[in-house]
Amino acid sequence: MKKLLRFFAYALATLALLILLGFLYIQIKGIPSYDTVTIDYHATPTPERIDRGRKLVGSLCIGCHINREAGNLGGQFMPDAPQEFGKIYSQNITGDKTYGIGEWTDAEIVYLLRTGIKRDGKYAPPYMAKLPFLSDEDMASIIVFLRSDDPLVAPSPIADTPCEPSFLTKFLSNTLFKPMPYPSAAIPMPDTSNTVEWGRYMAYNMECFSCHSADFKSNDFQHPEKSAGFFGGGNKPLNLEGEVMLTPNLTPDKETGIGNWTKQQFIAAVKSGKVDGQEALRYPMNPYVRLSDEEVGAIYDYLRTIPAISNKVERSGL
């Protein structure tokens, strides 16, 4: 009997030691690194691409990369990133050669946006957007715009503060979170005459699903529709004061989702932040002022086709 007890005591001590070593290993290793870019890529600037890129960057990247004092994409502390991920700072993505991405090649930028692998090989955890579904043409527009002299991205010497990822982020980045494969085939633009397909394209690429599903941790960025509680709301981004702002259910459920909303109400809410004259949006959901009625209407048509989820989300702080 005593022998057996001693055996268990040793086994437990060994297990505890292994867990401690694993913990230390991940804590010291930090965010993993991968092979750096080997692709050949160049985006040719055209005025149409600059315009399109302004709209995409101004809808998609601005929410995180805005520097609120400078009014450009100089990056800053992101108070809305859930604290469990650590202290998160979006980086300077203006054309500045020292602090921004002026020295990055087009290939390095596209590789990061597609796979999540940065110029130095480090993996960018899910608090940085990845765009596996964006069409090649829209991708080129984003890159051409980032290179332009638009005030949002003109070189601005704002020094970066590196992120301080939490142990959870490091752990997940060594286990669950993996870079995405670089696309092996061309990605065409969606067929805009099919509003459901177009709306899906927008809902995926504008990352609406990322905030409006159950939890950032269970989002599936490669198969968004497999994210837990897809568009059923209840995720917990923070506002600028660090308070939880629960996300509403956008599925067609009539009681708890937006099943009773008209397309006009939806467009007004997303573009101007108002429904029937009442404030419908607060930070971190900024009105998508640059999207057209047709684009937001297409998102509505798509949301009509996804499974309804019954999940009542109370509006935060009201």
CB of 38 to ligand HEC, least distance (A): 18
27/260 with CB nearer ligand HEC: 260
Q: Which residues contact 248 (CB under 8 A, 6 or more apart)?
A: 212, 233, 258, 313, 315
Shortest separation between residue 218's beta carbon and ligand HEC, angstroms: 15
Phi-psi region of 107 (alpha: psi -120 to 50; beta: other; left: phi over 0): alpha
Query: Do residues 266 and 287 touch, judged by C-beta distance below 8 A?
Result: no
Task: Using alpha carbons, select from 93, 96, 88 the residue that is nearest to residue 113.
Answer: 93
- Minimum distance, C-beta of residue 313 to ligand HEC, in the bound complex (Å): 8
CB of 299 to ligand HEC, least distance (A): 5
The nearer residue to ligand HEC, 19 or 82, going by C-beta atoms, is: 82
Closest CA to 274 of 287, 257, 291: 287
Please, what's the largest Cα pairwise distance for the chain? 82
Sign for the CA dihedral angle at 11, 17, 20, 21 comes to: negative
Residue 53: CB minimum distance to ligand HEC, A: 9
In angstroms, the CA 297 to CA 111 distance is: 31
Which residue lies nearer to ligand HEC by CB, 14 or 175?
175
222-231 as b/e: b if 16+ CB within 10 A: eebeebebbb
In terms of CB distance, is 194 or 301 closer to ligand HEC?
Answer: 301
Residue number with CB closer to ligand HEC (193 or 278): 278
Tokens of 113: 């946006």
Tell me whether residue 11 or residue 220 sits nearer to ligand HEC (CB atom).
220
53 vs 151: CA distance, rounded Å:
13
Closest CB to ligand HEC among residues 112, 140: 112
| Angular region, 231: left φ>0, alpha ψ -120 to 50, beta rest | left
Judged by the rule CB under 6 A, the positions of this chain that interact with ligand HEC are 57, 60-61, 63-65, 88, 90-91, 93, 101, 109, 112-113, 118, 124, 127-129, 142, 160, 163, 206-208, 210-212, 237, 245, 247-248, 250, 258, 266, 269-270, 280-282, 284-285, 288, 299, 315-316
Least Å distance, CB 91 to ligand HEC, is 4
DSSP secondary structure code for residue 225 in this structure = G
Least separation in angstroms between residue 127's CB and ligand HEC is 4
CA distance 226 to 177: 15
